[in-house]
């Protein structure tokens, strides 16, 4: 990508224009420059002069940036409402992923272990192992995947670091503190009972393990993002 377009891209992204709109805008601008350059060459200019003339006709970078930045409809959600994009939406995604994981647990329990008192610590084989494994994978990996998603969105949108980090902390907290309980009790006609609780007090059993897990999630999700930020800062300084 030519230098002026690279600068325009960075400027648009930092101003909160959604990456997909930036990509399309720059793509069309480059196609336009190619057409203008071909036209100037047909009029007898050398390739270098034609490119200069084409860029001049395209407009100065300030005008091209302001034309896009001025339209609110092109702003990304992470720029319009960062607290929604980085704090609320990830927690809703986590709740949805855990809902799916708990559904797999409950249905697997009913299908493969109808006689067992609990679906935990019971040996399973074949398809049942795969089925429960999928549920576990979703449950344990959801905070990591969503956290990396936050980092990718923040990186692509050139967001200020405060928002992704503010989103990663509650995500890691919920991811580390949640505990799933499953027991066979009769409550209002239902036999199986599955619930999720959160460690809240330091005296709670398993609190230290939960804290370690929350810290590990925070580290694993924040670190790649912070490394990218530092790399970007160093390359800018160089």
Judge whether 94 and 175 are in contact, CB under 8 Å: yes
The dihedral region occupied by 158, where left means phi > 0, alpha psi between -120 and 50, and beta the remainder, is left
CB-side neighbour CA atoms (13 Å) of 222: 18
> Site for another protein (CB under 8 A): how many residues?
22
State the nearest-atom distance from the C-beta of 39 to another protein, in Å.
9
User: Contacts with another protein in 94-123 (CB under 8 A)?
Assistant: none
Phi then psi for residue 70, to 5 deg, are -65, -15
Single residue of 6, 57, 80, 136 touching another protein by CB under 8 A: 57
Q: How far apart are CA 108 and CA 70, in angstroms?
A: 53
Q: Which of residues 141-170 bind another protein (CB under 8 A)?
A: none
Stretch that binds another protein, among 68-76, 102-110, 182-190, 210-218 (CB under 8 A): 68-76
Contact 156, 19 (CB under 8 A): yes
For the chain, the C-alpha Rg in angstroms (whole number) is 26
Which residue number, 53 or 216, has a Cβ lying nearer to another protein? 53
**Torsion sign over Cα 146, 147, 149, 154:** positive
Helix (H) or strand (E) holding 145: helix 126-156
Q: What is the nearest approach in angstroms of another protein to the Cβ of residue 155?
A: 24
Pick the closer one to another protein by CB: 73 or 187.
Answer: 73
Residues numbered 73 to 92 that lie near another protein (CB under 8 A) are 73-74
Residue 187 CA to residue 196 CA, distance in Å, equals 16
At 190, is the secondary structure helix, strand, or coil?
A: strand
Given candidates 13, 16, 25, 75, which one binds another protein under the rule CB under 8 A?
25
How far is it, in rounded angstroms, from Cα 233 to Cα 237?
6
Among 13, 36, 177, 218, binds another protein (CB under 8 A): 36
Q: Of 2, 23, 59, 80, which one interacts with another protein (CB under 8 A)? A: 59
Among 23, 71, 80, 160, binds another protein (CB under 8 A): 71
**Residue 13 touching another protein (CB under 8 A):** no
Report the nearest approach of another protein to the CB of residue 44 (Å). Answer: 19
Residues near another protein (CB under 8 A) are 21, 24-25, 28-29, 31-32, 34-36, 57-60, 63-64, 67-68, 70-71, 73-74
């Amino acid at each position: 990508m030519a230098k002026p377009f690279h600068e325009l891209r960075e400027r648009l992204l930092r101003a909160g224009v959604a990456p997909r709109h930036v990509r399309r805008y720059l793509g069309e601008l480059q196609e336009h420059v190619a057409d203008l350059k071909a036209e100037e060459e047909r009029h007898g200019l050398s390739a270098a002069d034609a490119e200069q003339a084409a860029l001049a006709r395209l407009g100065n970078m300030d005008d091209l940036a302001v034309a896009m930045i001025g339209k609110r409809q092109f702003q990304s959600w992470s720029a319009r409402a960062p607290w929604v994009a980085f704090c609320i939406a990830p927690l809703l995604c986590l709740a949805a992923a855990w809902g799916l994981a708990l559904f797999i647990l409950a249905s697997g329990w009913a299908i493969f272990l109808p006689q067992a008192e609990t679906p935990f610590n019971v040996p399973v084989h074949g398809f049942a192992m795969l089925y429960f494994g999928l549920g576990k994978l979703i449950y344990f990996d959801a905070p990591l995947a969503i956290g990396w998603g936050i980092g990718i969105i923040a990186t692509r949108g050139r967001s200020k670091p405060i928002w992704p980090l503010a989103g990663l902390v509650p995500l890691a907290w919920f991811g580390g503190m949640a505990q799933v309980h499953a027991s066979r009790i009769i409550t209002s006609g239902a036999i199986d009972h599955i619930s999720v609780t959160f460690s809240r007090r330091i005296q709670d059993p398993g609190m230290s393990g939960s804290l370690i897990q929350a810290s590990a999630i925070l580290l694993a999700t924040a670190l790649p993002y912070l490394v990218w930020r530092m790399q970007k800062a160093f390359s800018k300084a160089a």
